[in-house]
Amino acid sequence: MSRWRADVLAHRVDRAALLRRAQAAGARRDVLHRALGEAGAVVDALAAQGLPDRVVAAVAADLFARVCGACPRGWDERSLTRWVVLAIVPRLARVLPAEVSPLLDDLLTAATRLRGQVDLAAWAGRLTDALHAAGDARHLRDLAALAAWRSGAVMWRAAALGAAPRVPAAALA
């Protein structure tokens, strides 16, 4: 049994309540099914990389709730939540903290602000490379500002210059 499926079954009462809320808010069953399947594949891939169980459990709980919250607005190629879940989270396995929700909130906030200003895929690549060089996610906001500036978001220059002294030197390379 996959790690995702085991987590859903272990917390089925809470997960069922989230599903009911999502459907009441207008999420279609087929969209929820597809979205949760995609999120489940991410969780299973993270578990296969040997993340501690508490981190995998936190990611599973957060992604289930996040997907249920996003589906009423749509879960397609335009969804930033979907993009963060599918394109960024799998690349963060080595640096995911046990308390993953604030990290994902910060990623979504930054992506929302940067959409239309920079190539989000290039920004995500710079950000994940810097996070891996730093060794953990404590400097996420500072590294996000640096990655944004390096990706062409000129309005982020002051934030990036202020952030540079606070991050590990290895993350600046």
Which pLDDT does position 5 carry in this prediction? 97
How does the average pLDDT of the chain come out, rounded?
96
Which pLDDT tens digit goes with each residue over 4-34?
Answer: 999 999 999 999 999 999 999 999 999 999 9
**pLDDT at position 113 over 90:** yes
Q: What percent of the chain has pLDDT over 70?
A: 100
* DSSP-based helix, strand, coil % in the chain, nearest 5: 80, 0, 20
Helix/strand/coil for 153: coil
Report how far residue 77's alpha carbon sits from residue 93's, in angstroms, rounded to the nearest whole number: 23
Which pLDDT does position 63 carry in this prediction? 98
**pLDDT at position 173 over 90:** no
The average pLDDT across 60-83 equals 96
* Residue 125: pLDDT band with limits 50, 70, 90: very high
Which pLDDT tens digit goes with each residue over 29-57?
Answer: 999 999 999 999 999 999 999 999 999 99
Cβ neighbors of 62 (< 8 A, separation 6 or more) are 100, 101, 104
Report how far residue 120's alpha carbon sits from residue 171's, in angstroms, rounded to the nearest whole number: 19
Burial class (CB in 10 A: 0-12, 13-18, 19+), 154: exposed
**pLDDT at position 95 over 90:** yes
Tokens of 37: 């399947």
